[in-house]
Amino acid sequence: MSTLRIQGKRGFTLVELIVSIGLFIIVLTIVASAYLSLISLNRKARATNDLVSNLSYVVEAMSRTIRTGTNYQCGGLGGTNCATFGNSTFSFTDDQTRPVTFSLAGGAINQSIAFGTPDILTDPRITITNLKFYVQGVGSGDQMQPRVLFTMSGTITPDANSAAISFTIESSATQRLIEL
């Protein structure tokens, strides 16, 4: 008679299970923290992009409004030409013959139309530290087309946990009057 030998199947020991579960938890913790870091970076990138878009819009809107204006003056209406040293306030008459003033106040760019209450153009997370307007070709008698160059510098702070990002922007607008 032959004897049948049944070999017993051996399972995992308790120590092997504890070690494998521990390794799984370590790997899961590393992956979860990396995922949360990516989400945080994505939020900061989106916030920064929103602020840069706001700043680009403000610069483009200022350029467009200045381009179609007349009677350029620095330092408010009745101000002097500021081709050399610049001024943080710039006034002109827009295409609808309303007086418009751009100025720096409280770390923001303000626009006042027809001597009304100034509107803040920049996002509160944008701090403008320097704004200068330089006007050329106004009252010079040399038939030079009026041109406005404006520079601004400051910081962008995407959120409370982010460091401020510095920027400097320079743009210009040359008067474009419709000739009929």
Neighbour-count burial of 128, counting CB atoms closer than 10 A to its CB (0-12 exposed, 13-18 middle, 19+ buried): buried
The two structure tokens encoding residue 133: 């307007």
Mean pLDDT of 118-142: 85
- Quick: pLDDT tens for 89-99: 999 888 889 99
Residues 48, 42: Cα–Cα separation, whole Å? 10
- Of 54-63, 78-87, 100-109, 112-121, the range with the lowest mean pLDDT is 78-87
**Residue 150: HSE in the Cβ half-sphere, 13 Å Cα cutoff:** 29
Query: In the prediction, which pLDDT does 39 show?
Result: 93
Query: In the prediction, which pLDDT does 82 show?
Result: 75
> Looking at per-residue confidence, does 73 or 77 come out higher?
73
- Quick: pLDDT tens for 23-53: 999 999 999 999 999 998 899 999 999 999 9
Element (H, E) at 22: helix 14-67
Q: Give the list of residues 6+ apart from residue 158 with CB closer than 8 angstroms, or none.
A: 44, 47, 48, 51, 125, 165
Query: In the prediction, which pLDDT does 178 show?
Result: 59
Output the average pLDDT for the chain: 86
